[in-house]
Structure 1
Amino acid sequence: MGYFASQFFDGYRLQSNVVFTVEDGCIASVTPDAEPGQHDVLDGLIMPAMVDVQVNGGGGVQFNEAPVADSLLQMSRAYLTTGTGSIMPTLITDDIAVMSAGADAIAEAHKADPAAIPGVHFEGPHLSAAKKGMHSAAHIRPLSDDEFALFTRKDLGRVLLTVAPETVSPEDITRLVEAGVIVSAGHTNADADTCFKAFDAGATGATHLYNAMSALTSREPGVVGSALYRDDVYCGLIVDHQHVHPVSATLAIRLKGDDKLMLVTDAMAPAASDADHFIYQGIKVLRQGPTLKLADGTLAGSVLTMEEAIQHTRFDLNIALESTLKMATSTPANFLGLSSSIGTLQTGSQANWIAVNDALQVQRVWRNGVCMS
């Protein structure tokens, strides 16, 4: 099957008049500066389906509260309508039974469609109580053999683990990385020296930059300064104008560049749905306009979608279109080590793409080469 797109973004570059073909659910060829010929002409800007490495829930379901494969199917379907083709379902701090059940669900969903569910993000439980945010203090705990065995399962696809570097030693970070786990610093009050030791030990990410981490100050760079300083560290950024001030977001993008700054949602159950609340470990979290908050006013994730994230980044922050799209596609895919299959439209990539209009609103979506809308 062949297609023609007058506007085409391959995950890295904007191209014009591209013919691309699909075979067996994958991109078979990409030819720029071509003529439409007999190919199916697609309207709008064609780009890879987006990649979100931090999705706690969506479509009305919260993964921790329903850690089963049907939840992942519901989340995946909901986010596909807003242009996200690959999600890393995120289990926030909980007991080992919930984490294990969630891992079983991930293994099932990953086997069925590894592009849609490329892996799992364990956000906790090895965090700092001082920067726990909405995470349950009762379940924050040191790394044990049980968790290590869970994080290093071989049937989960990519495993991303957010830890507070002051609670997990550099030696344990190295042990996790050597076992294939991607380690990110988050929900942490660590100083710069502790962060640098974690990065030297193999940690390669900073989870939702600025939020739930020690700030950059004149005499202590904290986690924010450390992550921005290191060229080898990827930073996730929630561009909903609630978690991060637009000036701070813009500065981070300028410093990290579009190859190390990735857009994330940190979305909860109400995202991509009409739900007005969700429950986490018996606590009701309310949707208040564009935010989710606990009763004490603590931000509790977001209702952001990646469609909204690229709109905010492009039009509110005035970031170049190519950079904006890259931060939502190939950059998170590269962070996961999966850019040959997701987040790009190149020969061999999974045929997951979307069409957006000039306002970056999703018009149509394709999964495995099949139009879904």
Structure 2
Amino acid sequence: MRHLLTGARLFTGDMLLDDHALLLNGPDILDIVPAVATVAGATRVTLPEGSLLAPGFIDTQVNGGGGVLFNDTPTAAGALAIAAAHRRFGTTALLPTVITDDLNTMMAAAEAAAEAAAVPGGGVIGVHMEGPFISPGRRGVHNENHIRRPNGVDLDRLSALPRHFGDLGRVLLTLAPEQVEDADIARLVRAGLILAGGHSAASLERTQAALRAGLRGFTHLFNAMPPIGNRAPGIALAAMAAKDAWCGLIVDGVHVHPDLLTLALAAKPRGKMMLVTDAMPPTGTDATSFTLYGNRIHRRDGRLVTDDGVLAGADIDMAQAVRNTMRLLGVDLEEALRMASLYPARFLGLDGRLGQLAAGFQADLVLLDANLHVLGTWVTGQRDGGGPV
């Protein structure tokens, strides 16, 4: 079934277009045509005046949403519930994220995500395993009892994971470079995993060696990393200086000072910074607290904190992140939208299918009002609430 979406301004991932319409053919984008065009066999759908139709947001770090924590509910239903909660905020594709736990739980979560990724229109495009091979000294709220170095069995099990997803999704693993040997990094990359550095106190030199071995990006830049020192710049500077590596940014005005993020954006080539939420179960709810590892996490003043004030994820959604990127960092609309869609698609190697409005791409879309609040989404051509329109 063909549908012609008209009446909204279009952002293709490359440019803004006025007076054009988007032609969908089932789950895919067929073409962009002039708004006055008549397409035989297509149902015309008029979108609200002043709205903006853009590629759906892609979030590579989502711990929870809609009251669900992936660590506590490592099932396909849990992953799909998290994706459904974030869809309200423009995220049409995400990696449900399981943080440091016993490896059986983490592997169960990964296999559940593979099952969820096979559900058409579910919005799950892989899994993010954040740990357990991280620095004990930079663990944040991660459970120290499960932090360790990988052994041969771990490497065998992890190396087999991408086959569970096939072409449907990606396996992202966050690790501390000082916890994993270069040969093991190279082995995991050859197996098809995407590796990111994070929760790490690695030196500049150790991080650069890990990059040469295949490290592709960095998880929530500056968070759970030592400050940049004049004689020991460490992993954070290595991330900024690595021209080919991507960095995830939490732009909530809490995790990192906006001026530091502005400096990081200036240091990196355009296209290598992407937005993440690091969201937790309260997203999409009015909950004031939740439980992590049996401990109460409080939702206060835009923060998620333990009793001791340690940050435990972020209280933000992707549409907020886009607005904050413009307001706090001075980034223009087009680039902020790319940071939420095109750039994470490139990081994941899915930019031939997601992150743009172009013929042959999957019809994952977000409709925004003039203030960049979400009016609706489409995943594989199906509008939220069911149906194509």
TM-score range, shorter chain: over 0.9
What residue is the counterpart of 1:137 in the other structure?
144
Aligned partner of residue 239 in structure 1, secondary structure = coil
Counterpart amino acid of residue 11 in structure 1: G
CA distance in 1, matches of 2:154, 2:15: 40
What residue is the counterpart of 1:124 in the other structure?
131
CA distance in 1, matches of 2:320, 2:171: 26
Measured against aligned partners, the alpha-carbon deviations of 1:216-240 in whole angstroms (never above 9, x if no partner) come to 2222221111110110110000000
Moved more, 192-201 or 6-15: 6-15
Task: Work out whether residues 291 and 303 of structure 1, in 8 Å CA contact, stay in contact via their aligned partners in 2.
Answer: yes
Aligned partner of residue 304 in structure 2, secondary structure = strand
- 1:5-24 matched pairs, under 5 angstroms: 5-24=7-26
1:203 aligned onto 2:215: yes
Give how far 1:5 is off: 4.5
Counterpart amino acid of residue 181 in structure 2: S
Give how far 1:370 is off: 2.2
Aligned partner of residue 87 in structure 1, secondary structure = strand
Q: 1:158 to 1:345 in 2, by over 3 A?
A: same
What residue is the counterpart of 2:283 in the other structure?
271
Counterpart amino acid of residue 100 in structure 1: M
What residue is the counterpart of 2:236 in the other structure?
224
Q: State which of 345, 348, 357 in structure 2 corresponds to 1:345.
A: 357
Report the count of equivalent residues.
Answer: 372
Give how far 1:348 is off: 1.5
1:245 aligned onto 2:257: yes
CA distance in 1, matches of 2:84, 2:115: 16
CA distance in 1, matches of 2:212, 2:321: 31
What residue is the counterpart of 1:89 in the other structure?
96
Give how far 1:164 is off: 0.3
Give how far 1:201 is off: 0.6
CA distance in 1, matches of 2:121, 2:384: 18
Q: State which of 31, 47, 55 in structure 2 corresponds to 1:42.
A: 47
Give how far 1:113 is off: 3.2
Give how far 1:335 is off: 0.1
Give how far 1:349 is off: 1.3
CA distance in 1, matches of 2:139, 2:185: 20
Q: State which of 351, 356, 363 in structure 1 corresponds to 2:368.
A: 356
What residue is the counterpart of 1:158 in the other structure?
170
Measured against aligned partners, the alpha-carbon deviations of 1:88-145 in whole angstroms (never above 9, x if no partner) come to 0111000022112212211210111377111000000000001000001100011123
Give how far 1:42 is off: 2.2
Give how far 1:36 is off: 5.1
- 1:289-368 matched pairs, under 5 angstroms: 289-368=301-380
Give how far 1:181 is off: 0.6
Aligned partner of residue 346 in structure 1, secondary structure = coil
CA distance in 2, matches of 1:6, 1:108: 35
Structure 1: which 5+ residue stretches go unaligned? none
Counterpart amino acid of residue 170 in structure 1: D
Counterpart amino acid of residue 250 in structure 1: T
Q: State which of 23, 29, 32 in structure 2 corresponds to 1:30.
A: 32
1:186 aligned onto 2:198: yes
Q: 1:6 to 1:274 in 2, by over 3 A?
A: closer
Task: Work out whether residues 258 and 327 of structure 1, in 8 Å CA contact, stay in contact via their aligned partners in 2.
Answer: no
Counterpart amino acid of residue 279 in structure 2: A
Give how far 1:6 is off: 4.5
Give how far 1:37 is off: 4.4
Task: Work out whether residues 9 and 18 of structure 2, in 8 Å CA contact, stay in contact via their aligned partners in 1.
Answer: yes
CA distance in 2, matches of 1:37, 1:23: 15
What residue is the counterpart of 1:72 in the other structure?
79
CA distance in 2, matches of 1:5, 1:253: 34
Give how far 1:371 is off: 2.1
Aligned partner of residue 67 in structure 1, secondary structure = coil
Task: Work out whether residues 5 and 46 of structure 1, in 8 Å CA contact, stay in contact via their aligned partners in 2.
Answer: no
What residue is the counterpart of 2:62 in the other structure?
55
CA distance in 2, matches of 1:150, 1:42: 47
Task: Work out whether residues 80 and 122 of structure 2, in 8 Å CA contact, stay in contact via their aligned partners in 1.
Answer: no
Task: Work out whether residues 120 and 380 of structure 2, in 8 Å CA contact, stay in contact via their aligned partners in 1.
Answer: no
Measured against aligned partners, the alpha-carbon deviations of 1:265-308 in whole angstroms (never above 9, x if no partner) come to 11111122212222222122111121111121111111110010
1:369 aligned onto 2:378: no
Give the TM-score, by structure 2 length. Answer: 0.92
Task: Work out whether residues 218 and 248 of structure 2, in 8 Å CA contact, stay in contact via their aligned partners in 1.
Answer: yes
Task: Work out whether residues 243 and 269 of structure 2, in 8 Å CA contact, stay in contact via their aligned partners in 1.
Answer: no
Give how far 1:24 is off: 2.5
CA distance in 2, matches of 1:7, 1:255: 32
Give how far 1:23 is off: 1.3
CA distance in 2, matches of 1:275, 1:147: 36
Give how far 1:342 is off: 1.9
CA distance in 2, matches of 1:25, 1:350: 6
Measured against aligned partners, the alpha-carbon deviations of 1:35-89 in whole angstroms (never above 9, x if no partner) come to 3547433230100110000001111110001111111121111111110000101
Q: 1:147 to 1:306 in 2, by over 3 A?
A: same
Identity of aligned residues (%): 39
Q: 1:115 to 1:78 in 2, by over 3 A?
A: closer
Aligned partner of residue 279 in structure 2, secondary structure = coil
CA distance in 2, matches of 1:40, 1:183: 41
Give the TM-score, by structure 1 length. Answer: 0.96
